[in-house]
Every structure is written in C-alpha cells, then in structure tokens.
Amino acid sequence: MEYNSQEIEKKWQKYWLDHKTFHTGIDPAKPKFYVLDMFPYPSGAGLHVGHPLGYIASDIFSRFKRLKGFNVLHPMGYDAYGLPAEQYAIQTGTHPAITTEKNVARYREQMDKIGFSYDWDREVKTCDPKYYKWTQWTFIRLYNHWYDLKSGKARPVAELTEIFNSSGNADVRAAMTPNWFHELSKKDVSFGAGWKGIFIASDWAGFSEKQQQEILMNYRLAYLSEAMVNWCPELGTVLANDEVANGYSVRGNHPVERKMMRQWFLRITAYAQRLLDGLESVEWSDSLKDQQKYWIGRSQGAEIHFPIQGSELKLNIFTTRPDTIFGSTFMVLSPEHEYIEKITPADQLENVRKYVKEVANRSERERMAEVKKISGVFTGAYCLNPFNGKPSPIWVADYVLAGYGTGAIMAVPAHDSRDYDFAKHFKLPITEVVSGGDISESSYDAKDGIMINSEFINGLNVKAAIRAVITKVNEMGIGKGMVNFRLRDAIFSRQRYWGEPFPVYFKDGIPYMLNDNELPLELPSVDAYLPTETGEPPLARAKNWITKEGYPLETNTMPGFAGSSGYYLRYMDPLNPTEYFSKEAVNYWQNVDLYIGGDEHATGHLIYSRFWNKFLFDIGLAVREEPFQKLVNQGKIQGRSSLVYRLKGSNTFVSFGLKDQYEHSVMHVDVSLVNNDILDTQEFRRWRPDLADATFILEDGTYVCGYAVEKMSKSLYNVVNPDELIEHYGADTFRLYEMFLGPLEQSKPWDTNGIEGVFRFIRKFWRLYHDEENRFRLSDEAATAAELRILHKTIKKIQEDTERLSLNTAVSTFMICVNELGELKCSKRAILEDLLILISSFAPHLAEELWQACGHNESITQAIFPAFNEAYLVENTFKYPVSFNGKMRFTMELPADMPSAEIEKAVLEAEESAKWLEGKTPKKIIVVNRKIVNIVL
C-alpha cells in the first residue's frame, strides 16, 4: 500500500474519537502528570502555522508520558470572552456568543486535523455559565475574605467582624491600602475630623450598617473603590495595567487616559511577597521570573517623618536610601498629595494650584512623552531634618508618583539622578554625602562608598549607615523600616458586555453578594452592545437587571483574566455541578506539571492565576501553592515574506539578483505564488487585476524573489495556514516539521520549503515496513548487533531529548535512525516494532497504522516505551581524534579499554605522528579515555 496520509489520518482520528482513547480518569495505581496548554482565544481568522507549535510540543510530551506509564491529564478549552467578538457585535448586531461558537467550532476542526490527544470531555469555555458560575463563586469568596498579615493568609471576613466586636481593630494587621481612612472621610459616611481609622469594640457597635460596610470594604480581597484608572474611550472601558503599553491599549492600540472611577479591585498586593517567594520554587525561565520580579517590584527602605516648619503636620516620605538623609536638600510631593493644600502659604497657592491643574490635565501619554521635560513648583513651605532641624524647601513635581510609597520623597540630588536633574534645572543645592563619585558631573547612585558630611554616620559604609539610620529613626519614633511594592491592586471591572456578570447587587448604595444558590448569574440579553446614553455599561440596557427583591444588579462585567485565572483547576473535574472541583480530583491531580504557552502572559495571566491559586490555597481548595510547576514559553513563528521589485513607474518587475541595476520599489507578494523563492509569473499576473499585464526581467529564465522575516500578518501576504499543508503532506509531516524548525523556546521564521525534507523522511520510514511492491512486510529473523545498536542509540536519545523538550533534535534522531536502518535494509520486527512506539508520540497516525499492520489489535497508545539497554551500545574500539598542540590531525582506532599509557605509546608510534612530531620530544601528552589524545610539543 502506498503511503496515504489523508486516509490514514482520518481513520485514526475517528478511531480515537470513537474509542475515547484519550479519556482520562483518576487512577490511583498510576502516577499523574498534568500537561497544559494556554487555552486560546478563538479568533475569527482561525489558526495559522504559529499557533499549534506549543500544542504539538505538549501533545508529543503527553503521549510520551503515557507510554512511560503516567496517567496524563491533557485538556483543552477556550478563553472565550474577548473584545474582538464584542466589537464585531457592536458593528453587526450579531451576539458575541454566536460569533464565539462559530470560531470555537473552526478551532476544534483545525485542532482535530492535527491529531491531538486531548481529553475533549474536559473542555471548558469561559463564557459557559456552567464554567463561569465558579468564577463568580470565587469572586464572592474573595469579597468575603481579608488578608491577615500576622498569619500570612486570607481569613473569612466573619472572623474579622468577630474581632471588631470584641476588641476593635487596633490589633488587626491586615493588607490594606495605605491611608485608607482618608478616602472614607471624603464619602458621605463621617467618622469625625482627624479620624485615623482606629476604633474599639464599642465604636464598632455604634457604627451604622453603612459605616461598618464602608470600613469592611477596605479589608476585603475584592473591594469597590474610587481610584485613578486607565480609561480607554475608544473601547469604552477601563483596563488593567498589563493591558496598557506606552499609553495605548494592548488590544487594538487605542489611546488610554487616566480617570477617577469607582471600580472593583482585587487586592493582589496582599500576596506580593508570596508571589515573589513562590518564584524560587518553580521551573520557569530566568527571563520570565525576572519579568515577574520586576513587575512586583519589591524595594526595602524606610518611612521617615519630617516636621513641617510652622505646622503641626509631619511629612511622611519613603526612601530606600535613609543613609543619604543629610544630603537631602529639598523635598518633593506628588501633584496629588493631600498636604499641598494644607501647607502652601496663601501667596503661593495660586501658582501651585495652577501647576497641579496643568499636570492633572495632561494625558498619560503626554506625560510619558515628556519624561525628560523637568517641571515643578516651589510651595513656599519648608521641612525640617528630623535629626538636626535643618530646613529644606518643599516642592511639587510630577516626577514623584502619588501611587508609590507615600507619594513624597526627600530629594538627594547628589545620589539620585532624577533629583540631580531636578536640582540642576531649578538651581537647588547639591550636597555630597557618599564618597566615590564626582557630583559636579553627575549624581553618584551606587550603594558603595563612605559617608561624609553626615554627622553621626560619618565614616560608615553605605550598608552600615542604612542600618544605623533606621535604628535611630525607630528609637526616636520618627519612622520605621519599610518594604514597598510596585505591584498595584488589579482593576477588576470592565464597562463591557461580553464578560462574566458580577454576582453583586446594591442596596442603599452598598454592594451585597448573591447567595451561592443563585449562581450562575447569567449574562442577560441587551438591545445593543454599547454604553447607554448616560454612559452606563451595556448591561444597564438589560431589562429586569435586578434581583428578585428588586435591587439593581452590578452593570460592570469581569475582565478577560477572570475566567483564565482558575481554569486549570476546573479541568480536573470539569463536569462537577456542585463544586468548583472535588477534593478527590485536586488531591490526585495537584497542579500543572508542564505548562506551555506564549510569554506575552508574563505579567498578566501568569500573575493573576498565581494569585487566584494562592487564595484558593489559603481557603483550603487548591492543594499546591504554585499552580504551574514547570513552564515553557514557545517562541513565535515569524512570517517569511516574499518580495518582488518593481521598476519605478512601470509594471515591470526585476528579479532579485538584477534589482540593483535598476531604480525599483519593493512590493510584498503572496507567498502562495512563490516556491523556493521562484515566482510563478503566470499566477502573479492573475493575482491582481492591475498586474495582468506585468512584465519581468528574469535571471536564468526565472524570477527570483527576495525575502524578509517579519510578523505573520495578512497585510504582508505571508500567512501560512496549517489546513493546506495538512491536506498536502498530512498531519504527521506537519507535526514533525513544526518541531524540526528549531528549539521550542526560540522564535524562528516559517519556511514552507523545508517541509519536503520531512515528508521525504516520512515516506522513507513507511518504506522500511514495505517491500518493493509496497506490500507490508516484516521479518521475524533475529536482529543483528548493528541493528540493535541503532535501535538502542535511538531509544536513549529520543527519551533524553523528549524529557528536555529538545524536539528538533529528536526529529533529527529519527532521520538518522531511518537512514542507518535503510542502509542495512533492516526489516526486522524486533527492531521496527519498537521504533513505531518511539515515533508514535511524534507521528501518531502513521504509527497506529503500521502498528495495526504488525498485527496488534490495541491502539499503540497502550504500548510501553521500550526499555533502553546500555549493553547494546558497548563498542570494542574507539576512534581517537589525535591532536598536536590542540589541532586535530588524524584519527586512530584503538581498543576501547586500552589503558592511557598504551594509547600514548600507540599514538606516538603511529605512522602519521612522525610528520607532526618533526623529531621533537613531546612536552606533555594528554589522554582522555574514550575522548581525545592531545600531544603538546
């Protein structure tokens, strides 16, 4: 039988489906292994050749682990909420669920053609109410928990109110927004002037329901708050920090503004330290871990209070360099700082307000674009150094951010480049306090040197000085050591339609959670997918968007990362109607052993889901602190565009090699019209009406195209679709070729030309099992030593390479193996059956077909990975490379077990050695057994 990929692949894909070959259940007798792909957003364009790269790798790994005796959980689903379907709905009125369903079906069809071993019975879709019920359920738990810093974990709010009832909040140490009580004083609940957020049991009992709820809101892990948010007018919604880049939305690239809005937040900052610590225990790339570390941005320093001249107020600043306190020559407040109004003398007030207003009106993008532009204003007020009472002026400047630390700094121009630039610009004094730099040139920021001009810390090195100042500050009660994080709480509200509804209603303006038995709260239908005339989110259009009792429901929806934060847990028990997932399931599957996906999720999904998991861990649901033990980021597949060269002002195209002789412009041409860089000129003329009369200047009778490696995109005509390749070469060839392209983690250009080599290999492989007339034929003769050596060499290499996901070299290994067996004309069952098991993870359809032809009734997925036997690889001789002064000159075959002294002798006596020795006596001879001989002259 001739190799026919179409027939074979259809047959086995159907077989796997009919026999539920990849259905997985809990099996205590087998060790578990959980292999997960980042589930895709099903876009309308379908999969291109870059998408399946990671899926193929994870599929090979899953199949390999099954052969190795593991019970493998390998599910797939869809991150089904997303902006494109909603934008399409706005334009066309088509419900996003319909668009999404259509796209999901297309994705499924494409994935099925590649022959993946997913357990489709476990499929989850984030937009499915049966799934998002648990997203809502988790949100309710987040709302009903607070973070206890003493025990370092989330605890129920019910326990918090008990504490308040019995002893107030003085002893409670909770993760909260700094100065949370300031915000409260702005609301319609009053706690009296100068209230510092501290209350005793009797106060608590006396608070109104509203007051109590407002206070509790500041403790909850999911909370409602007024805050500066990233507002994207074009998308009509708020975005999280990771959804914004350089002042534009990551999706759609629309401008983003800052706006004060009331939004739901997740208190992810409570987990900042644990998110940092957890990175130590996972096997992720350094670059990914660094990205997360940087995003979390821990910095250790001190908070110090500076008295303000002529005022009762003390200015609270944060610094990582308390050692430089005597070099602080001015103070800077962020333009949003609450003290500005309080400390600015009347004669300066107008000027300062003008500046603050100016800054506030500037958009985020303008601010970013003008980073280098120094601006600020002097308030007219002065601070006193808490140690020596020396006054320094207080400025307001936008280079100090309200959201970080205390929103105020002590400026040390000699040792901070930003302060330095600012001081130079406004001609403020610069005092050197750490020796080692030249402050007339630039600031000296290094934490290296001896303190000078610094009173009690003079002569200490920087580290000792930092400790000394913190100790003193503590003693004097004017501050304390402190850790700050860059990480911000996650904005969790979106003013969009296509997302999970919040299980929240409002009574008297206070939010309340629905009961668990009212979940899921399903997404209502609306007459249009746009905000209302009054600017409310689309859900405000829904009829009867109220509870049974008539209270209005929340009209925001959850963001994209809500549904993806816990999906890996739901896969463990996806059909469970009464629980997120059962204890039994999570105890068995634990966490993801191998997670493969793109690194664009470094600071989004991968932080949120670690947080989500840690919370579920705290409340006793998840059993592991880290959800993803090993994580691999597959590289992107870049497009390889084909280029043609058009003579200026004509319809004549010049071939690549001759283009420099003419004045030309470069034009992208559809890659489907090009084969091995040779343009099909006939097809080219047919491609577009304006090219019908194109003429060509050829070289050697052909038109050679140039090429460029760039993003795979429709507009560059370089998109390659897997369906066509699979139709032509088959899924097995396609799978192998995707892996053969290069290392999984590396980005690389797609070049369809190379696929021929793999296709040739597949047919060569097929021929090993067939005679000249293409009849299946295996011999039952005993295998020779040479054949066994080839087989076991291959077993060893495939096993090692697959374990470390070096799948490109694994494919090469198969090629070498088949070349060698082909040379020996090997057709022995004893060799070829094992080879089928080896390749079955990579080319599963081919393997199944030949396995069946071998006479097996069961799927090859039931086979056991062949055991490697070292004994077959033992060689009697070793071919030593012989070097003189490190340069390899000739090789010499010697007995493998020959002792070094004898090797030395044999090499020196060799005929070829005389030429290189030139009669000299070697100074030294290095013999490394079974490696090399090096003679030093």
Nearer to RNA, 487 or 719 (CB): 487
Among 367, 447, 467, 668, binds RNA (CB under 7 A): 367
What's the closest the beta carbon of residue 291 comes to RNA, in angstroms?
Answer: 4
Chain positions 777 to 836 lying near RNA, rule: CB under 7 A, are 797, 800, 806, 808-809, 811-812, 815-816, 819
Q: Which amino acid is at 819?
A: N
Among 52, 115, 236, 301, binds RNA (CB under 7 A): 301
Please tell me whether residue 657 binds RNA under the rule CB under 7 A.
no
Q: Which of residues 102-161 bind RNA (CB under 7 A)?
A: none
- In the complex with RNA, the residue whose CB is nearer, 64 or 581, is 64
For RNA, which stretch binds (CB under 7 A), given 119-127, 164-172, 180-188, 599-607? 599-607
> What whole-number distance in Å separates Cα of residue 762 and Cα of residue 731?
11
Q: Which of 65, 95, 274, 321 contacts RNA by CB under 7 A?
A: 321
Mark the segment that binds RNA (CB under 7 A) among 125-133, 404-412, 590-598, 654-662. 404-412
Residue 26 engages RNA in binding (rule: CB under 7 A): no
Q: Which stretch binds RNA (CB under 7 A): 195-203, 459-467, 511-519, 749-757?
A: 749-757
Nearer to RNA, 650 or 746 (CB): 746
Minimal distance in Å, beta carbon 515 to RNA?
A: 39
**Cα-based distances in Å from 472 to 303, 322, 463, 476:** 12, 11, 14, 6
* Near RNA by CB under 7 A: residue from 46, 168, 278, 742: 742
Give which of 92, 230, 96, 212 is closest to 157, Cα–Cα. 212
Contacts for 11-14 with beta carbons within 8 Å, 24 or more apart? 11/845, 11/849, 12/115, 12/844, 12/845, 12/848, 12/849, 13/112, 13/113, 13/115, 13/845
Pairing of strands 924-928, 748-749: unpaired
The answer to whether 34 and 593 have CB atoms below 8 angstroms apart is yes
CB of 148 to RNA, least distance (A): 25
Q: Among 102, 314, 353, 748, which residue interacts with RNA (rule: CB under 7 A)? A: 748
* Interface with RNA in residues 237-276 (CB under 7 A): 241-242, 245-246
Contacts made by residues 621-627, CB under 8 angstroms, sequence distance 24+: 621/569, 621/580, 621/581, 621/586, 622/569, 622/586, 622/591, 623/586, 623/587, 623/590, 623/591, 624/590, 624/591, 625/274, 625/278, 625/281, 626/278, 626/281, 626/282, 626/591, 627/568, 627/569, 627/591, 627/592
Place of tokens 């412009």: 665
Q: How far is the CB of 808 from RNA (least distance, A)?
A: 5
Q: Which is nearer to RNA, 124 or 832 (CB)?
A: 832
In whole angstroms, how far apart are CA 250 and each of 236, 253, 288? 14, 6, 19
CB atoms near residue 936 (< 10 Å): 12
* Residue bearing tokens 């071993």: 117
Please give the residues from 600 up to 619 whose contact with RNA meets the rule CB under 7 A.
600, 602-603
Residue in 1, 45, 401, 901 binding RNA, rule: CB under 7 A = 401
Binding to RNA, residues 332-351 (CB under 7 A):
334
Report which of 733, 793, 721 is spatially closest to residue 801, judged by C-alpha positions: 793
- Report if residue 319 touches RNA, rule: CB under 7 A: yes
CB 342 within 8 A of CB 308: no
Q: How many residues form the binding site for RNA (CB under 7 A)? A: 86
Bridge partners of 73, per DSSP, are 34
d(CA 406, CA 438): 30
Q: Closest Cα partner for 526 from 95, 129, 234?
A: 95
Q: Which of residues 877-896 bind RNA (CB under 7 A)?
A: 879, 881, 883, 885-889, 891
Query: b/e per residue, 803-830, with b = 16+ CB within 10 A?
Result: eebbbbbbbebbbebbebbeeeebbbeb
Nearer to RNA, 200 or 937 (CB): 937
Among 405, 503, 566, 639, binds RNA (CB under 7 A): 405
Write out the binding residues for RNA, residues 206-225 only, by CB under 7 A.
none
Q: Please give the Cα distance from 902 to 912 (Å, whole number).
A: 17
d(CA 141, CA 615): 9
Closer CB to RNA, 486 or 829, in the complex: 486
Binding status of residue 407 toward RNA by CB under 7 A: yes
Strand order in the sheet with 330-333: 377-384, 391-396, 330-333, 408-411
Give the span between the Cα atoms of 217 and 189, in whole angstroms. Answer: 13
Contact region with RNA (CB under 7 A), list: 34-42, 369-377, 549-557, 724-732 = 369-377
732 counts as binding RNA under rule CB under 7 A: no
Among 484, 556, 794, 840, binds RNA (CB under 7 A): 484
Site for RNA in 756-775 (CB under 7 A): 756-758, 760-761, 763-764
Q: Which is nearer to RNA, 493 or 733 (CB)?
A: 733
**Per-residue contact track with RNA, 674 to 693, x per CB under 7 A?**
--x-----------------
Among 416, 787, 834, 848, binds RNA (CB under 7 A): 416
Q: Which stretch binds RNA (CB under 7 A): 101-109, 284-292, 575-583, 660-668?
A: 284-292
Residue pair 131/124 in contact by the 8 Å Cβ criterion: yes
**Nearer to RNA among residue 104 and residue 811 (C-beta):** 811
Question: Near RNA by CB under 7 A, which window of 165-173, 393-401, 463-471, 690-698?
Answer: 393-401
